[in-house]
Amino acid sequence: MHRRAFLGATAFGIGVLAGCVSSEGDNSGGLVEAATPAPTATPAPTATPTPARTPSREVADAGVTDDLRGDTVRSSGTGKGLSDRFTAMGGPVVVSLQFDYTGMRNSNFIVKAVDDAGEPLSPLVLSVNEVFEEARLRDDPGRYTLRFVTHFEPGDYFLDVTHAGGPYGDGAWEAVVEQPGVPTSGESVPLTVEGFDGDVIGPVTFDGPVRVTVETAAPKIGPTDEPIVYNYRVVPTDARGASESRLLNSVETAPLMQSAVYFPTTDVGYLNVHSWGPWTATVEAA
């Protein structure tokens, strides 16, 4: 069985997280809480992350506000630890997470944002809780990548990361935090985007309501040929990364196609897409 579950929470942030569940429909995923980290235990990054799947699109940097740009912070580790400190400037924050569960029969991956005192942010900016069990998929790459745009109030923060496999050992993780600045323009509608796992569309320039359609591919399942049921979500964010209401939020059997009309509240923004495996999204005038 291959099961994944996300717990997502939003205030200024993501609310985009969901994941695969078993065909029995259990989406509890065995969620556990990560312990509050001590800020003095900040680990030094051990390697420069190399994503297993390069996102099909990069967050564009045309027309940004330079004074809200921030340094890129790259961290990696095994098991439990903190990312390096990053200083939020008040603009959009692009978070890329990757973990390697190769050879781990059970794997629990937890990420929370904490302040400089080691306290979880309240309200939560991001909260990720993902569970992997023994894969029943053919060609499972053993890695998963999640990339999204969110927003932090100005200040110093860490990512508190746990990748635990219980008796199967701890797993490797990588985290990258980028701050490209506040966009004043973006890609024009209509556009079609191909992505993989969790990724970002945008920035996009909105000129009125748009219809967003997401189509997922059929996964390569194992010899039992059981259908895979999983959650996927699409959450719009404004130019600073503050999340709006969920546009699409569904639990379906792959493959699937769904669409909805979005009424932007800003002229420029992003769309956070969380799925599993390959997907195609179209954004067009409604």
pLDDT recorded at residue 132:
64
* pTM (two decimals): 0.77
The full 3-state SS of 129-157, as one line of letters, equals: EEEECCCCECCCCCEEEEEEEEECCCEEE
Nearest to 32 by CA among 5, 50, 60: 5
Least confident of 7-21, 65-79, 229-243: 7-21
Higher pLDDT, 231 or 82: 82
Specify the pLDDT at position 142.
76
Between residues 224 and 37, which one has the greater pLDDT? 224
Does residue 227 register a pLDDT over 60? yes
Q: What is the amino acid identity at position 103?
A: G
Q: What is the model's pLDDT at position 127?
A: 73
Q: Which residue has the higher pLDDT, 256 or 182?
A: 182
Whether the CB-CB separation of 5 and 29 falls below 8 Å is answered with yes
Contact between 112 and 82 (Cβ < 8 Å): no
Looking at the predicted structure, is the pLDDT value of residue 44 above 90? no
pLDDT tens for 228-282 read 667 788 999 999 999 988 899 888 777 789 999 999 999 999 999 988 778 999 9
